[in-house]
Amino acid sequence: MSLLDVRNVTLKFGGVIAVNNVSFSVEEGEVFALVGPNGAGKSTLFNLISRFYDPVEGEILFNGESLLKHPSHDIAKLGIARTFQNIELFEQATVLQNLLVGRHRFRKSNMLTELLFTPFVRNQERENRAAVEHVIDFLDLHAYRDKFIAGLPYGVRKVVEMGRALALEPKLLLLDEPASGLSVEETRDVAFWIEDIKNQMGVTVLMVEHDMHLVSAVSDRVLALADGKVLTVGTPQEVQSHPAVIEAYIGVDDEVAA
Amino acid sequence: MRILFKTSYDYDIRMFKHWYQARWYILLLVLAVAAPWLLGTFMVGEVTNVLIWALAGMGLMILVGQTGQASLGHAAFLAVGCYSNVILQERLGLPFILTFPLSGLIAGLAGVALAIPTTRLHGIYLAIATLAVSIMVEDLIVLAEPLTGGVSGLFAPDIEIFGLTINRYVDPELFYWLTLAIVVIVLYLYRNLLRSPLGRAFAAVRDSEISAQAMGVNVARTKAKAFGLSTAITGLAGALMGHFAGIFTHETFNILISIQMLLMIVVGGLGFIHGAFFGAVIIAFLPQALAIARDWVGTALGTGSVIVPGLENAVFGVILVLFILFEPMGIYGRWLKVRTYFELFPFYRRDMFRRQKSYLKTERMR
Amino acid sequence: MGRPREKWEERVLDVLQLVVSGLANGCIYGLIALGFVLIYKATEAVNFAQGDMMMFGAFVTLGLTNSNYVGLSFWIAVPIAIAIMGVLGYLLDLVVIRRMFGQSQVAVVILTIALGFIFRFAAGTIWGHEPQSLETPYAGMDVRFEGLVLGLDEVAVIAATIVLTLGFYFYFNNTRLGVAMQAASQNQLAAYYMGIPVKRVQSLVWALAGMMATVAGILYASKGSIDPTAGLLGIKAFAAAVIGGMGSLPGALLGGIVVGIMEPFAARYIAAGYSQIAPYLLLFLVLVFRPHGILAQVHRKKV
């Protein structure tokens, strides 16, 4: 059984078919990339998995369980974390607070015990903090722990958002363009982190990315989309040399096609 | 400049950053408790008024400052708290010690009841919906005359706690201490909220609903909780306000009070508990300050004291405009800057608190 | 045979009377709401002081034309007042609102509420707090039509609204500045790239809103009396704007008329006390069930 199973999913906005009968499955422990030109429906697929949209048709299974039964705030509890294309952090909070929100799914206290801040809540906070510190160590965010997001540079925000998703201790991590807008050095860091997330943390990664270097460096399998339809699935090399992909997406790009 | 070496996570979980900071607040508390001996009867009454407004402000702050949900209708919940407290005492003969928490509970449930249908509304739309509710509640109070006394209003009875009678005019000190105790308790709960997961969930909903959702925060339920807590505290303030004023009508809680409450916490500093207190000081003392200024001007010009209707609101409006333009973080924000200046002297930089300019976020896309 | 027919006719006339007076009120709400929507569309700011600007504009006219003040002819006073309020609106944006760029909508709301306080104070200080009525050439005249008696003031309101609406329609679709305003309201950045001076256009929108408010104020004050708290009428107009859909100019007018017509009927057929809740109840219900008004223009945020 695959970890994530997307079956014949279709989504329409008005008359436009954003996702057209897409099926794919992500196996546990792999890095799976979605590539395709703008408007191919990659982010829309993420939003479908996050349950921000309801598909017109099809089924999405996670660990064999249908996601469509769950409202979007349950998705995190099932162990799926995500980042956003345009960074959606909690701007008026510190990095630490942002990461701690990622721990929300482990909350066992309730409003009453929290208002009284019982020893149980205190212990829970210590545990949350310890878990978050692991993420801070992993992503080297020490210098920014108590900084407000609103004052941080773009590259750091990108990392913080990844950290927030990791603080959730997900089984499946959805990364929406993790390297967009980053410098070459920063992109290389991201590549290392994705490797480590897969190998050390044992987290399965599903990502949308335009940077083909990053995609071929880290992904085990790649799915190419165009106009909401699946073109092909395979290893990065297979996909890059697939004629339909070259035509739809890479065809004009000499460097990658070569 | 102080350097704090943190050796355990508890440093960040504690209520005060360090002993030094705690000392100031303990000193403040001691002064507050001793206030009746230090101040005259008139001033004790004024400080009580400040505390009640601060309590109401804290209630609204949880919703607006912490959760980012603007409300222009909180006077309605002052009214709910105030009326239910007095009606429960008068009609059912319950003692204050029961009716007071019950009034908070009722106001809180009313808040949750409002939050459920309005959960999809954002920003100004929510503000307008709450505004409409505030206006409707004002009218409903008049209509529910058998219960609320209609336009002639209700009298608040003396408070009785275990045989101890408290009338705000006869024993202003006792009433002051009672208010202070309630404020301190709410303050404690509020601080706890800020350092616990629910407080962070509030902030998450405030800053990005969509990613709060992706982090597993149930946005609708979190908003309902914020509304409930907020209106419960406001309801408690309303109950105290009733006893403080002695008599109240629907006019006591009109739409302008709702607006004033929101303006108060903005001037004080949105998002900070201190802001509720600073704002309350402005609201409570502005009329006095203006009266003094008027007398002074009158004497200086030899015209005697002139009464200028609407002056309070206008001055308040000017203060608010200046704050929003030049110090959006309110009085507390200004205080933070001044303090940092002295703490870091001479290393303070002007852009230390500068926030990145954000682009216009269109509200048409939600 | 005669009596029941007369009764029936009486009822029709009665209803018509209610419709016309509601329509007249509704047009005023609609005109104020139009000002709201104009500013909201162009700048995404919500001007809670629109009602107070209406009040202020009425007082400026009143100060110019009433015999106990300057005593100008009504037809001279009106354009002067409109011009004054236009300049005031422009300056308001230039000096205050423009600095709010990039801040949250709620901050702007609070700011304009505060500005409303200042308007109210200024009007009270200059013209006093007593209700006054505007001396118009058509005061007290009425139009008779088959047994239907209509105040000329009410007819004037409806006529002026129709003329203004047509004027606006022409303005937004056919003039350079109108089209620029539309463009700036739909996409600020794109409009800026196309060489539209977005900031100045926004100030002009505020000027236009100030002028609209004055027209509404004149019509309102000619129908009855006006005092510095009349600006609170803005809340009802605001309800109208929301009911119609904040982003839609026809919606604003429609919302105004809905609220305006609802009021006299509610007052007639619902128990006193409950009737004044009606517009707010409608507002609340619209917000809950159609959060962005009857003519919605909101899309989900893309992530």
Chain A CB within 8 Å of residue B328 CB: no
| Closest by Cα among B185, B13, B159 to B99 | B159
| CB-CB contact of B152 with B249 (8 Å) | yes
Residue B165, H or E segment? strand B164-166
Q: Assess if residue A230 is contained within a domain.
A: yes
| CA separation for the pair A27, A45 (Å, rounded) | 17
Same domain, A65 and A93: no
| CB-CB contact of B148 with B83 (8 Å) | yes
| CA separation for the pair B237, B51 (Å, rounded) | 9
Average pLDDT, chain B: 88
In chain A, which residue ranges form alpha helices assigned H by DSSP? Answer: 42-49, 72-78, 95-101, 111-116, 119-139, 154-167, 184-199, 212-218, 236-241, 243-245, 254-257
Same domain, A100 and A158: yes
Whether pLDDT at C303 is above 60? no
What's the pLDDT tens digit per position in A28-80? 999 999 998 888 889 899 999 999 999 999 999 999 999 999 999 999 999 99
Least confident of B56-65, B290-299, B344-353: B344-353
Nearest CA in chain C to A46: C303
Task: Indicate which CATH number applies to the domain containing A66.
Answer: 3.40.50.300
Task: Indicate which CATH number applies to the domain containing C212.
Answer: 1.10.3470
- Domain boundary (A145, A169, A193) is at A169
In A91-183, which residue ranges form alpha helices assigned H by DSSP? Answer: 95-101, 111-116, 119-139, 154-167
- Domain boundary (A169, A188, A220) is at A169
Domain residues for C32?
A: 12-289
Same domain, A42 and A65: yes
Average pLDDT, chain C: 85
Across C254-260, average pLDDT = 91
Whether pLDDT at C151 is above 90? no
Interior angle at CA B63, CA B61 and CA B69, nearest 5: 125
- Domain boundary (A109, A142, A169) is at A169
Alpha carbon of B221: minimum distance to chain A alpha carbons (Å): 11
Interior angle at CA C41, CA C156 and CA C277, nearest 5: 60
Give the total number of structural domains in chain C.
Answer: 1
Interior angle at CA A211, CA A209 and CA A213, nearest 5: 120
Question: Own/partner pairs for C171-179, CB < 8 Å, 24+ apart?
Answer: C172/C249, C177/C201, C177/C204
Chain C CB within 8 Å of residue A92 CB: no
Find chain C residues with C-beta within 8 A of B316's C-beta: 114, 117
Confidence (pLDDT) at A172: 96
Q: Assess if residue A199 is contained within a domain.
A: no
- Specify the pairing of strand A31-35 against strand A204-208: parallel
Whether pLDDT at B354 is above 60? no
Residue A53 — left, alpha, or beta (φ > 0 → left; ψ -120 to 50 → alpha)? beta
Beta-bridge partners for A94: A148
Helices B123-143 + C105-127 axis angle, to 10: 50
Which residue type, as a one-letter code, is found at position B318?
V
Residue A21, H or E segment? strand A16-26
Q: Assess if residue C2 is contained within a domain.
A: no
Give the total number of structural domains in chain A.
Answer: 2
Interface test with B, best of C48, C105, C246 (most B CBs within 10 A): C105
What is chain A's alpha carbon radius of gyration, rounded to the nearest angstrom? 19
User: Closest to B142 (Cβ–Cβ): which among C102, C104, C273?
Assistant: C273
Q: Assess if residue C297 is contained within a domain.
A: no
| CB-CB contact of C103 with C94 (8 Å) | no
Beta-bridge partners for A16: A13
Whether pLDDT at C300 is above 60? no
Confidence (pLDDT) at B361: 41
Confidence (pLDDT) at C181: 81
- Specify the pairing of strand B247-248 against strand B154-155: antiparallel
Confidence (pLDDT) at C301: 46
Chain B CB within 8 Å of residue C272 CB: no
Alpha carbon of B204: minimum distance to chain A alpha carbons (Å): 6
| CB-CB contact of A203 with A173 (8 Å) | yes
Confidence (pLDDT) at B356: 45
Nearest CA in chain C to B136: C277
Per-residue confidence band for B1, with pLDDT thresholds at 50, 70 and 90: low
Across A113-122, average pLDDT = 94
3-state secondary structure of A197: helix
Per-residue confidence band for B359, with pLDDT thresholds at 50, 70 and 90: very low
Question: Cis peptide before C137, with omega less than 30 degrees from 0?
Answer: no
**Quick check: B211 and A103 CB within 8 A?**
no
Across B26-30, average pLDDT = 93
Confidence (pLDDT) at A199: 93
Chain A CB within 8 Å of residue C271 CB: no
Same domain, A72 and A87: no
Considering the entire predicted model, what is its pTM? 0.89
Across C250-265, average pLDDT = 89
| CA separation for the pair A246, A250 (Å, rounded) | 4
| CA separation for the pair B130, B144 (Å, rounded) | 20
Confidence (pLDDT) at C104: 76
**Highest mean pLDDT of the ranges B277-281, B336-340, B359-363, C168-172:** B277-281
What's the pLDDT tens digit per position in B192-204? 999 999 999 999 9
Across B128-139, average pLDDT = 92
Least confident of A99-103, A205-209, B231-235, B356-360: B356-360
- Beta carbon pairs, B and C, within 8 Å: 141
Alpha carbon of C108: minimum distance to chain A alpha carbons (Å): 19
| CA separation for the pair C188, B163 (Å, rounded) | 67
Alpha carbon of A196: minimum distance to chain B alpha carbons (Å): 22
Using CA atoms of C207, C209, C215, C216 in order, give the dihedral in degrees to the nearest 10. Answer: -160
Chain B CB within 8 Å of residue C283 CB: yes
Per-residue confidence band for C296, with pLDDT thresholds at 50, 70 and 90: low
C50 versus B340: the higher-pLDDT residue is C50
How far lies B282's CA from each of A8, B34, B62, B65, B177, in Å?
62, 22, 19, 18, 21
| CB-CB contact of B331 with B269 (8 Å) | yes
Q: Assess if residue A125 is contained within a domain.
A: yes
Strand order in the sheet with A31-35: A80-82, A172-176, A204-208, A31-35, A221-226, A229-234
Chain A CB within 8 Å of residue B87 CB: no
Nearest CA in chain C to B356: C102
Q: Assess if residue A178 is contained within a domain.
A: no
This complex has an ipTM of: 0.90
Q: Assess if residue C49 is contained within a domain.
A: yes
Per-residue confidence band for C4, with pLDDT thresholds at 50, 70 and 90: low
Least confident of A133-147, B101-115, B291-305, B347-361: B347-361
Confidence (pLDDT) at A252: 52
| CB-CB contact of C232 with C51 (8 Å) | yes
Same domain, A15 and A51: yes
**Quick check: C299 and B358 CB within 8 A?**
no
What string of DSSP letters covers C261-289?
A: HHHHHHHHHS-TTTGGGHHHHHHHHHHHH
| CB-CB contact of C224 with C25 (8 Å) | no
Q: Assess if residue A186 is contained within a domain.
A: no
Confidence (pLDDT) at B364: 41
| CA separation for the pair C73, C262 (Å, rounded) | 36
- In terms of Cβ atoms closer than 10 Å to its own Cβ (0-12, 13-18, 19+), residue C101 is middle
Nearest CA in chain B to A93: B203
Q: What are phi and psi of A111, to 5 degrees?
A: -55, -40
Domains of chain B, residue spans? 21-277
Domain residues for A119?
A: 80-169
Whether pLDDT at C202 is above 70? yes
B347 versus B78: the higher-pLDDT residue is B78
User: Closest to B263 (Cβ–Cβ): which among C113, C125, C273?
Assistant: C113
Confidence (pLDDT) at C145: 73
Residue B321 — left, alpha, or beta (φ > 0 → left; ψ -120 to 50 → alpha)? alpha
Nearest CA in chain B to A126: B9
Percent of chain B with pLDDT over 90: 56
Chain B CB within 8 Å of residue C128 CB: no
Find chain A residues with C-beta within 8 A of C303's C-beta: 43, 47, 52, 84-86, 88
Hey, what are C294's tokens?
């009857």
CATH dotted code for B21-277: 1.10.3470
User: Closest to B196 (Cβ–Cβ): which among A105, A117, A129?
Assistant: A117
Find chain B residues with C-beta within 8 A of A133's C-beta: 9
**Quick check: B196 and A88 CB within 8 A?**
no
